[in-house]
Structures are given as C-alpha cells and as structure tokens.
C-alpha cells in the first residue's frame, strides 16, 4: 500500500496518469472517497495516461463513460446502481472481458460483490480545499 499527498487538481490528475502507465488491459480500479474528493480528477488522469482520445468527465448521470484510445477505458459511477443485475445491464463485466481498463467510483456500494475481484483500490480523502491524501493498494507507481 502506498500513500500520496496531492496539493492541486492537476497533481491528482497527474497521479492518475502515472497509475495508468502500470495498468494492464482488463484491470479494475475501485475508488472510495467522499463527494468532491477527486475521484473524477484521478480518472481523468487515468484516461490521459491510457492515451484515450475522448475528454474525460464525470459519469454521474450516464452511469458509465467509455473513452476510446490505444488502451480503452470505461469509467463507472456506481452510486445510483442497486444490485448485481444493474452492473450486468450497464456492461461492467463486458468491458473487463473486452480488455478495457475499468474504474468504478463509489465502489463501497458494491463492497461485498467486488471483494473477490482482483483490483487496484484507490481511496481519496479530502484534507482541505486543494489537498488530498490518496492511498493506492494493489498497484505500484
């Protein structure tokens, strides 16, 4: 487990980009952290690091955003999903099977279901307006 401190949104994006360089096709990244902690900024960095050509944004209302590139990226928001069937319908496992890197914000809502999945776990905690403490488990930078 590694712990990092970022002092700006740009630093959080850059940390995500660095993590992306270590992710194999079909990798799962599970995020925890409160509202506004920087999960989407970190995912923006993952998209950048994977070479995705689409601009990254929050999947809050769409449930999943898919970004094309040499290493595709599926970015999920699990906040409004209720059960395993919702994950299936959203294509969660299909993206993994197709070799996309999959990131899931609000993964704590599916902690029991995803506990056995091999994953990189990223927890982001707000220290103050700009500072974040980011703990990464299961992946190395």
Per-residue confidence in pLDDT tens, the chain, 141 aa: 899 999 999 999 999 999 999 999 999 999 999 888 889 999 999 999 999 987 777 666 568 899 998 999 999 988 878 888 888 888 888 999 999 999 998 888 888 888 888 899 999 999 999 999 999 998 767
Q: For helices 9-20 and 39-50, give the axis angle rounded to 10 degrees.
A: 40
Which value, to the nearest 10 degrees, does the dihedral of the CA atoms of residues 51, 52, 54, 55 take? -60
Q: What is the pLDDT of residue 60?
A: 61
Determine the distance from the C-alpha atom of residue 1 to the mean position of all C-alpha atoms in its chain, rounded to a whole number: 17
- Report the half-sphere exposure of 6 (CA within 13 A, side-chain side): 22
- Its CATH architecture, for the domain 2-137, is 3-Layer(aba) Sandwich (3.40)
Q: What is the pLDDT of residue 121?
A: 94
The model's pTM: 0.90
Report how far residue 123's alpha carbon sits from residue 52's, in angstroms, rounded to the nearest whole number: 23
Report how far residue 5's alpha carbon sits from residue 133's, in angstroms, rounded to the nearest whole number: 5
The single-letter DSSP state of residue 90 is: T
Q: What is the pLDDT of residue 122?
A: 96
Q: What is the pLDDT of residue 34?
A: 85
């Amino acid at each position: 487990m590694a712990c990092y401190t970022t002092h700006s949104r740009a630093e959080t994006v850059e940390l995500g980009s660095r993590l992306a360089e270590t992710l194999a096709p079909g990798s799962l990244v599970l995020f925890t952290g409160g509202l506004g902690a920087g999960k989407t900024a970190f995912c923006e960095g993952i998209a950048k690091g994977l070479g995705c050509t689409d601009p990254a944004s929050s999947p809050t209302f769409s449930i999943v955003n898919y970004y094309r590139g040499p290493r595709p990226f599926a970015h999920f928001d699990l906040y409004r999903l209720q059960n395993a069937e919702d994950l299936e319908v959203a294509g969660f496992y299909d993206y993994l099977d197709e070799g996309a890197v999959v990131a899931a914000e609000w993964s704590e809502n599916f902690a029991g279901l995803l506990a056995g999945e091999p994953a990189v776990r990223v927890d982001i905690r707000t220290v103050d307006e700009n500072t974040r403490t980011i703990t990464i488990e299961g992946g190395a930078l």
